[in-house]
Amino acid sequence: MTTAPPDHSPPPPPLPPGTAGVVAVSKRFGAVRALGGVTLDFPAGQVTALMGENGAGKSTLLKILTGDHRPTEGHLHLDGRRLDLRSPADAHAAGIRIIPQEPEIIPHVTVAENVYAGALPRRAGRLLDRAELRRRTTADLERLGFAGVLDPDLLGSQLTPAQRQLVEILRALTGEAKVIAFDEPTSSLSEQEVEALFALIRRLRADGVAVVYVSHRMKEIFQLADRIAVLRDGELAGVQDAAATDEGALVRLMVGRDLSAVFTRARVATDRVVLEVKGLTTDHVRDIDLTVRAGEVVGLAGLIGAGRSELALALAGDLPIRSGTAMLNGKPLGGNPGRAIRAGLGLAPEERKAQALFLHRSIRDNTSVAVLERLRRFRFVRRGAEKQLAREYTERLRVRTPSIEHEVRKLSGGNQQKVVLARWLARKPEVLILDEPTRGIDVGAKAEIYRIVADLAEQGVALLVISSELPELLGLADRIVVMQGGRTTGELDRADATEEAVLHLAMADDLTPRHPSPGATS
């Protein structure tokens, strides 16, 4: 960390004493402006929520705060000092931490070693003191309210998404932290883990830590935040007192319009059954009966662990089917993913970064990978045709990118999800399964995903949508099938579906499947 060079420009508005923040910060990547003149403070002992559409500049601002990027213009301040952060190590030394949305876990070492990477306790100056390391990690888990949730001796490769998130939280809270930024921290956590996290954040606030909380979940924002800052198109659109604003006002600040009509779409389902599942049983689900018609959107609801994603993976050929059948236009599914793809099924999985995208490859590569056989001439891919395909779907899905050669890892979450969808649209599937299609993306990008779903249904694609957001399922689906404990517990027509009815089936003690409502087929 070094002293910044002299700046002879007019002084920006000062930040209040004892706070962290950015003053007149701008950031450009070539010709692309990611941030423009943002001045925002993060007061000690307060939770400042940071909201905005994907691409609004939130990630760029966080990376400037944590030393991953240096601002093109403007400054950082902390406790009245102007900072020039040249690396994440500088930010860490200054007391600034970030808990990223996508945890960075070392797979072949333990939880304890992941938490204390770079600061491992030693014996005799060289040997790793495993007993001390385990003691520290166990004490950290107890202190932060996560005792019994995580085994310090588990390998990184054995962790669930929720456990990986907890490791990142533990790692960030080692040492003295003055500013902690949480980036979509609850996207992989259970309800119990979310409650423990919220208790921890309130404790940090009471201890005088400045908390920055990035989330697209309005309910969480209003539960935690003292104030809400909204970015739009790289600029600060406004800062609201959380107690004096509401969801509608925040949405208008984020996207410049109301989203009241976001779920409006024509119902276009036909009588032609495209996907038919009878008695399907795997190691994770049992006796599943399910149909999806051409042009129909069927929602799949349930609590965490209900078996929804496992059912999707079985249909896509990624998990073995033990008994029962799954047919797509009379063609059997299961066995392997290639068979499912050839039959006309596409799957956009829940973990897009781990399960769908080639993060260090371009948008062009990621879009064309499922249709390379159509783009080949002899043994060679026709690059002109590949580029034309990628440009067509990038424009059609409104992917915000400087170029189709841009690496997918550099895109926002919403734009990454659009690239996954572009891959399957290029394949022209008969059935498309969308597993948590709007997880971790903002309200504006959600509206665009919903538009894509509506367009696909109008084109006659059969859609199976898995979502943990009940308003999303209620708005999108023609029918909702509910699962619990690996089995279906009921089915609701759109007209009969309410949050209460879905939750009743999702938490049913009696696992005997309910009969579908009149007119529905199970």
pLDDT by position in tens, the chain (length 522): 544 444 444 444 555 555 788 999 999 887 778 899 999 999 999 999 998 876 688 888 999 998 999 999 999 988 878 888 888 888 888 889 888 877 788 889 998 888 888 778 888 778 888 888 889 888 888 887 777 778 888 898 888 777 887 888 888 877 778 899 998 888 767 777 788 788 888 988 998 899 999 987 888 899 999 999 999 888 999 999 999 998 888 877 876 655 555 566 667 778 899 999 999 999 999 999 999 999 999 999 987 778 999 999 999 999 999 999 999 998 898 788 988 999 999 999 888 888 889 999 999 999 998 888 888 888 888 889 989 999 998 988 888 888 999 999 988 878 888 999 889 888 899 999 999 888 777 677 778 888 888 889 999 999 999 998 788 888 889 999 999 889 999 999 988 888 888 888 887 654 444 433 333 333
Burial 322-352 (b: 16+ CB within 10 A, else e): eebebbbeeeebbeeeebbbebbbbbbbbeb
Tokens of 102: 């996508």
Per DSSP bridges, beta strands 19-29 and 73-78 are antiparallel
Residue type, 140: D
Quick one: which of 2, 213, 210 has its CA closest to 89? 2
Map out the domains of the chain as residue ranges: 42-71+85-104+159-255, 106-153, 273-506
The C-alpha atoms of residue 401 and residue 55 are separated, in whole angstroms, by: 10
The owner of tokens 């944590």 is 66
Radius of gyration of the chain (CA): 24
Q: Which helix (H) or strand (E) holds 312?
A: helix 308-315
The residues with which 210 forms a beta bridge, in sequence order, are 179
Confidence at residue 522, expressed as pLDDT on a 0 to 100 scale: 30
Cα–Cα distance measured from residue 9 to residue 200, given in angstroms and rounded to the nearest whole number? 41
Token output for 14? 């000062």
Pairing of strands 32-43, 47-51: unpaired
Four-way CATH pick for 42-71+85-104+159-255: 3.40.50.300, 3.90.1150.10, 3.60.20.30, 3.30.70.260? 3.40.50.300
User: What is the CA 187 to chain-centroid distance, rounded?
Assistant: 6
Q: Are 506 and 481 in contact (CB under 8 A)?
A: no
What SS3 state is found at 263? coil
What's the one-letter identity of residue 478? Answer: D
Angle at Cα 136 formed by Cα 132 and Cα 137, nearest 5°?
120
pLDDT at position 518 is 33
Q: Do domains 42-71+85-104+159-255 and 273-506 have the same CATH topology?
A: yes
Contact 310, 333 (CB under 8 A): no
- Listed in sequence order, the residues at least 6 apart from 99 whose beta carbon sits closer than 8 Å to its beta carbon are 165, 168, 169, 172, 180, 181, 182, 183, 185
Is the whole-model pTM more than 0.75? no
CATH of the domain spanning 273-506: 3.40.50.300
d(Cα 21, Cα 37) in Å, to the nearest integer? 13
The closest alpha carbon to 437, from 425, 452, 427, belongs to 452
pLDDT at 442: 67
Residue 485's pLDDT is: 87
Tokens describing residue 368:
């064309």
